[in-house]
Amino acid sequence: MTHITSTHLADGRELLYFDDAGSPRPRSVELTQDRRDLPARGEPGEVRYDALTGEWVAVAAHRQTRTHLPPADQCPICPTTDANPSEIPAPDYDVVVFENRFPSLGPALGPVPASPGWGTTGPAFGRCEVVTFTPEHTGSFSGLSETRARTVVEAWSHRTAALSALPGIKQVFPFENRGADIGVTLHHPHGQIYAYPYVTPRAAVMGSAARRFYDDADGRQTLTGSLLRAEREDGSRMVLESDSFSAYVPFAARWPLEIHLVPHRQVPDLAGLTGEEKDELAHVYLDLLKRLDALYPTPTPYISAWHQAPVDDLLRPASYLHLQLTSPRRAADKLKFLAGSEAAMGAFINDTTPEQVAERLRSVTVPASPAEALAPAAPGLIEQGVTEPDLIEGAHA
């Protein structure tokens, strides 16, 4: 079992230690006080309503002063030393989650203004958290042990449940930006979790499509479940399969590298997974990231985005947890930049074919790990006749 210990930093922000299963006791329970002299936390920024699109835009000018690519000896998420009193007041840790010192949303909580129009503003309510994957300053998620990856999965699950229960929160989004080409501001391996006071534009589009499909099927099927079934039956874009998860390059991939990782059972979010499914997810996710990094001689920049059901009575029953792992890397020395068609019109043009990308991901040599490697899914060998999981009471809670 992952041991979780909660404490607070000098300015009142919450920090949680997540210890690996089997970690020596006690460690995080012997809390080290944050002795820094930090300024009081500021008020939230603001959100502004874009009447042209019906979307909310967060304005967070205070983030201009946030830490940007500091040297290793000044890293704010390494363990604390006498020379570097960091955000984590402990000499060692496994996984840590804490409230961002420079949040885009929060720290106050509440709803966005009702019936907005042109000129409507409001406080940028919500919560932004940082998830540190390891005390080591260098490396990547793909280099974590399976035990440590499982601890991160547990942290995502715990925070999803806790943040979803906060007043005014409508969507919880765990994600990782990896690589300078993506725009990271810290080299130390870490991710983030945003808890929004509104359903984000991308989630709203996907949620509406999912709800229409769900209603047309009289609540017996989900859109993501039907896509998973179609991809598994076709087989040409499959990357790997396990007992409870499948990964594939989607039929209409937008990015040069795009993989979706989907559980075989419909669950709304990471908190809905069983312990056994979380164990399996840690193994499958590591395998997938290793395949991505094995494509080229240098690490591949990516965005790892966990799409979870909004905290919304209309959209949630039709929603289906899944990961969208994307990268702008279209060749060893080339990146895709969003120019006119994509950035201005949202009309993507992909420079690669999903089938070729899937074949490359299946065929790469994955670095050996202590656990037995997953067999890549090959066309013609995919399980046929996969049916939609039974809809059971509580499955959409």
75 is in an annotated binding site: yes
188 marked as part of a ligand binding site = yes
Judged against a pLDDT cut of 90, whether residue 205 lies above it is answered with: yes
State which H helix or E strand residue 150 sits in: helix 146-164
Report the 10 Å Cβ neighbour count for 368. Answer: 8
User: Above 70 in pLDDT, residue 342?
Assistant: yes
Is it the case that residue 390 has pLDDT exceeding 70? no
Q: What is the pLDDT of residue 244?
A: 98
Please tell me the least confidently modeled range out of 99-108, 116-125, 379-388.
379-388
Domains and CATH numbers, the chain: 3-35+44-201 (3.30.428.10), 216-363 (3.30.428.10)
pLDDT at 103: 96
Q: Is the C-alpha dihedral spanning 245, 249, 255, 256 positive or negative?
A: positive
Q: Where are the beta strands (DSSP E) in 42-170?
A: 46-50, 55-59, 95-99, 121-123, 127-132
Query: Any binding-site annotation on 137?
Result: yes
Q: What is the pLDDT of residue 62?
A: 83
The overall average pLDDT reported for the chain is 91
pLDDT in the model for residue 65:
77
Q: How many beta carbons lie within 10 A of that of residue 381, not counting itself?
A: 12
State yes or no: pLDDT of 275 exceeds 90. yes
Q: Are 223 and 191 in contact (CB under 8 A)?
A: no
End-to-end distance of the chain based on CA atoms, in angstroms?
Answer: 24
Nearest to 5 by CA among 107, 97, 85: 97
The least confident of 40-44, 78-82, 194-198 is 40-44
Quick one: pLDDT at residue 28? 53
Q: Residue 371 gets which letter from DSSP? A: S
Buried b (16+ CB within 10 A) or exposed e, 16-49: bbbbbeebeeebbeebeebeeeeeebeebbebbb
Percentage of the chain lying above the pLDDT 70 cut: 91
Write the single-letter amino acid at 307. Answer: H
Q: Which residues are catalytic?
A: 190
Establish whether 128 is an annotated binding residue.
no
Q: What residues have CB less than 8 Å from 104, skipping those under 6 apart?
A: 45, 58, 60, 63, 124, 126, 128, 194
- Mean pLDDT over 328-333 rounds to 95
Model confidence over 134-153: pLDDT tens digits? Answer: 999 999 999 999 999 999 99
Place of tokens 């925070």: 159
Per-residue pLDDT band at 225 (split at 50, 70, 90): very high
**Banded pLDDT at 319 (limits 50, 70, 90):** very high
pLDDT level of residue 238 (50, 70, 90 thresholds): very high
What are 8-31's pLDDT values in tens digits? 999 999 999 999 998 875 555 567
What is each CA distance from 27 to 20, 86, 189, in whole angstroms?
11, 18, 21
Mean pLDDT for 40-69 is 92
- Find, among 136, 4, 25, 24, the residue nearest to 79 by Cα: 136
Residues of the chain with pLDDT > 90, as a percent, come to 84
39 cis-preceded (ω within 30 degrees of 0): no
* pTM greater than 0.85 (yes/no): yes
